[in-house]
Chains A and B, each alone.
Chain A
């Protein structure tokens, strides 16, 4: 039994890993050069509590369950989550009414420990929140994580359990061919018994190619500003939501920076690669974030970025089954939170339908890249005595060592961004100006590439261009 997963974003990765628990052959197809580089890379990285989603939607069905599943998942796959809690701030009585509705909705959705706090109690939890708030909805179960780390971890664990991955391989179309499915890709034709389409922004077009009608997608752009201003907020701070969405947030990231954003701009369906930031978008982020947290210090800007979320007109996930083909479309917010629950259900469904057998030797644990900066002195000493390169700091901003960079390469990093998103080297306040050359020299030694061949991320994103005469 051969199963194809199209898309190594968070949903595809978790589905692939889930399938490797069974006696099947799993192959992952990813258009980009690394895992988790699409929608998964550039969003807010929040574990939502689940009060925001209208009851009877798929979002409501999967959000709070997915949230709970992350605790065990993070232990097995060794990625970090932080249950920071979240606050939705109301600035006037009209907004308090909306908080009350959210509270009701949360109860229907089965969200635990949700409550409305007075102004003072909210300020006690979040001292830097604007003094102008009148109340806030608090959920202790919301949290933050780095979504790409989940995709990396899930894919690594899937590969360890026998899956295969085809990176930089675009699936162009799916054809039913008798009992099987023929995938036409940029690297040839492949045949599979089961196909899961988790192609993110392109899931609608891919479903269409297989003759399956789904609600069309358009990208919704979110622009962000990342600040080197740790601990300015402790929880995920939302304004009161409006028709346009959850609004512009201020939140602590898992890497101890502060994230502002996103905007919510509906782009045309043909604009699925338009990830530019704009002057209007960034100034909107600044204005709204400062309203929530006046202490925001923009001189601490690390960088800006923008990501696209797959949106449809019904504002809900669409999961379409067509014999042994499943299309997962419009995994907009809270897609990240919902992902483990979606993966569990979809794999469960196929397992039951095709009567798949469990493997005896599935190994659920993925070993993470050591993180020197998080270790006790004794742990550091022990690791350095085994491998001295764990004592050589390469990224001075985030204290990432040579050993970690070598390990990231062994975990699959082939580009500077591959190293960055596995180690946090170059993520800090110098944005790589001190450590990039050192990292390129390590890559040259470990992978055997020339300086000229090393790229930032995509094939034409080389760093240097030739030798000084």
Chain B
């Protein structure tokens, strides 16, 4: 068994993890990245579409470009690739890692969790019918097309209107696959409006709201699906319609990846790591950033969050005294997701929230004070704002709510 010791160990080398490396290096900490894949970049490597980097680089980049450009900023960290964490012992500050060169015990001063998210697979939806091949998560289909140069099939439908599903509807259309339509069980879209316009409308791919699959057909390869209208999550009898297709792409939700730590740290009801404004979890020397905290819309936000987590992790590893939590955020009416659950009320920080249903006009409130007015607020579009402790009282219980108003 080999033993290693670092100030800051970062789990996952995607956008958040790379940000954390940069943040920790800026504080002159010794940094080790533990990454499952053979390189940094995470899911950026298969996202060959553009739309990345508007905040961080002030220009529109593809995923691989964003990865390369950000990687150039990182000098002087150690990394273990194709290495998997088997176990975290937060009391002894020890990680157990397996790789082709053996088992490692690694002691950390502070840990940054940047493990991202995974896709909910179609199988988890318990849709009745058969279990043929030809059913993919959007990310798996994207991997086949963009990294392995393979088509998943010839005629596809997309279930769920999450961003990767919308992007894959366009990608498959460009590659000559017939995309019959996108089906969303909710009465509103799951992804960004930008993607609905650029990926569906521009390619005449219909988006069917309040509609989803009720049966899968085909013994060996997928032969078709039956779709139906849905009201409040239940299929409406008499609205069934058969669609012949050999491919089903599921974009039915991302789940924050916290399996390694869900017994060590506090986890929110939506599955994310609960953090404060320093990106610190319920364990003082464990930090978290990115999609394992909450599902973000933009990679740029993830990078920035990672940078903060890395910086603060380095400060903790160097035994700097960190401020205590003084405020706790509660989800009030109209709010489904909040990114930050606690605050130290020491410095201004970014908060991201999602509303729980589409609102023509939403007034965001902090306790009884109006914070921001958002036109066309949708659950699919994160609302971003800065909370400055000199402007708002951030002590004790703080309720964030969204009130619907008429324009």
* B181, CB-defined interface residue at 8 Å: no
Instruction: Check: A22 CB closer than 8 A to any chain B CB.
Output: no
Q: Are B140 and A437 in contact (CB under 8 A)?
A: yes
Contact with B along A433-463 (1 / 0, CB 8 A): 1101100000000000001100111111111
Which residue of A388, A389, A451, A461 is within 8 Å of B132 (Cβ)? A461
A273: nearest chain-B partner, CB-CB: B219
B221 in contact with A460 (CB, 8 Å) = yes
Asked whether B100 lies within 8 Å of A277 as measured between CB atoms, the reply is no
Q: Which of A276, A388, A399, A457 contacts B84 (CB 8 A)?
A: A399
- For residue A384, CB closer than 8 A to chain B, the reply is yes
Task: Report the separation of the CA atoms of residues A305 and B131 in the bound assembly, to the nearest whole angstrom.
Answer: 8
Give Cα distance in the complex from A89 to B246, angstroms.
45
Q: Give A460 to B102 CA distance when docked, in angstroms.
A: 40
Q: Which residues of B contact A462 (CB under 8 A)?
A: 133, 221
Q: Is A278 an interface residue (CB 8 A)?
A: yes
Q: Which residues of B contact A459 (CB under 8 A)?
A: 220
Inter-chain contacts of B148 with A (CB < 8 A): 437, 451, 464
- Of A304, A392, A468, A469, which contacts B126 at CB under 8 A? A304
**CB neighbours of B102 from chain A (8 A):** 381, 384-385, 391
Residues A391 and B98 in contact in the complex (CB < 8 Å), given A301-B126, A433-B118 = yes
B130-A301 in contact (CB<8A): no
Shortest distance from the beta carbon of B141 to any chain A beta carbon, whole Å: 9
Q: Is the CB of B175 within 8 A of A377?
A: no
A465 to B246, CA, bound (A): 10
Q: When A396-B84, A399-B86 are in contact, do A384 and B219 touch as well, CB less than 8 Å?
A: no
Closest to A300 in B: B124
- Which residue of the partner chain, among A279, A393, A431, A469, contacts B124 with CB atoms under 8 Å? A431
Against A, the Cβ 8 Å flags (1 = close, 0 = not) of B74-111 are 00000000101010000000001011111100000000
**Distance A433 CA – B122 CA, assembled complex (angstroms):** 10
B117-157 Cβ-contact flags toward A at 8 Å (1 or 0): 01101111110111111101101100111011111111000
Of the residues A282, A465, A469, contact of B128 by C-beta under 8 Å: A282
Q: Tell me the residues in window 242-299 of chain A with beta carbons closer than 8 Å to chain B beta carbons.
A: 273, 275-279, 281-282, 298
B296 at the interface (CB under 8 A from A): no
Determine whether the beta carbon of B123 is less than 8 Å from that of A304. Answer: yes
Which of chain A's residues have a CB closer than 8 A to the CB of B82? Answer: 392
User: A276 to B151, Cβ gap below 8 A?
Assistant: no
Q: For the complex, give the distance between the alpha carbons of A457 and B134 in Å.
A: 12
A365 within 8 A of B: no
Question: Do the beta carbons of A388 and B100 come within 8 Å of each other?
Answer: yes
A436 to B140, CA, bound (A): 8
Complex partner residue of A433 from B128, B137, B214, B246, CB under 8 angstroms: B137
Query: Which interface class (under 10, 10 to 19, 20 to 34, 35 or more) fits B?
Result: 35 or more
Cβ of A302 < 8 Å from any Cβ of B?
A: yes
Q: Decide: A456 and B133 in contact? CB cutoff 8 A.
A: yes
A381–B99 CA distance with the chains assembled, in angstroms: 10
Known contacts: A275-B130, A377-B1. The answer to whether A389 contacts B151 by CB under 8 A is no
Establish whether residues B100 and A392, one from each chain, have CB atoms under 8 Å apart when the complex forms: yes
Q: How far is the CA of A302 from the CA of B137 in the complex (A)?
A: 14
Q: B136 → chain A, closest Cβ, in Å?
A: 7
**What residues on A are CB-neighbors of B100 within 8 Å?**
384, 388-389, 391-392
B140 → chain A, closest Cβ, in Å?
4
Contact A433 B119 (CB under 8 A): yes
Q: Complex formed: what's the CA distance from A456 to B100 in Å?
A: 28
- Asked if B341 is at the interface of the complex by the 8 Å CB criterion, the answer is no
Shortest CB distance A146–B (Å): 18
- Distance of A384 Cα from B103 Cα, bound (Å): 9
Q: Are A431 and B86 in contact (CB under 8 A)?
A: no
Query: Contacts of A377 on B, CB cut-off 8 Å?
Result: 1, 96, 103
**Given contacts A460-B221, A468-B150, A468-B151, A437 and B143 within 8 Å (CB-CB):** yes
Contact partners of A436 in chain B: CB under 8 A? 140
* Contact between A461 and B126, CB atoms less than 8 A apart: no
- Whether the pair B129, A276 counts as a contact (CB closer than 8 A) is yes
Structural contact, B130 and A451, CB atoms closer than 8 A:
no
Chain B residue contacts of A305, Cβ below 8 A: 131
* CB proximity of A398 to chain B, nearest CB, Å: 11
Find B103's partner among A276, A381, A392 (CB 8 Å cutoff). Answer: A381
CB distance from A42 to the nearest CB of B (A): 10
In Å, the complex CA distance between A281 and B215 comes to: 13
Picked from A434, A455, A458, A469, the residue with its CB within 8 Å of the CB of B118 is A434
| Partner among B123, B145, B147, B149 whose Cβ is within 8 Å of the Cβ of A302 | B123
Q: Does A354 belong to the interface (CB within 8 Å)?
A: no
Q: Which residues of B contact A301 (CB under 8 A)?
A: 123-126
Asked if A429 meets B220 with Cβ closer than 8 Å, knowing A301-B126, A377-B1, A465-B153, the reply is no
Q: Which residues of B contact A469 (CB under 8 A)?
A: 175-176
B16-50 CB contacts (< 8 Å) to partner A: 36
A468: B residues at CB distance < 8 A: 145, 149-151, 175
Cβ of A225 within 8 Å of any chain B Cβ, yes or no, is yes
Interfacial residues, chain B to chain A (CB-CB below 8 A): 1, 36, 82, 84, 86, 96, 98-103, 118-119, 121-126, 128-134, 136-137, 139-140, 143-145, 147-154, 175-176, 214, 219-221, 246, 259
Using A380-B98, A463-B134 as known contacts, list a sample of 20 further A-B pairs with CB atoms less than 8 Å apart, ordered by residue number in A: A303-B131, A377-B103, A388-B100, A391-B100, A391-B103, A393-B36, A393-B84, A431-B122, A437-B143, A437-B144, A437-B148, A457-B133, A458-B219, A459-B220, A462-B221, A464-B144, A464-B148, A468-B149, A468-B175, A469-B176
Q: Could you pull out 8 A-B pairs where Cβ atoms are within 8 angstroms?
A: A389-B100, A399-B84, A401-B98, A430-B121, A433-B136, A461-B133, A465-B153, A468-B175
Binding site for B on A (CB under 8 A): 225, 273, 275-279, 281-282, 298, 301-305, 372, 377, 380-381, 384-385, 388-389, 391-393, 396, 399, 401, 429-434, 436-437, 451-452, 455-469
Q: Which 8 A-B pairs have the closest CB atoms?
A: A303-B123, A388-B100, A431-B121, A460-B220, A393-B84, A456-B133, A464-B150, A461-B133
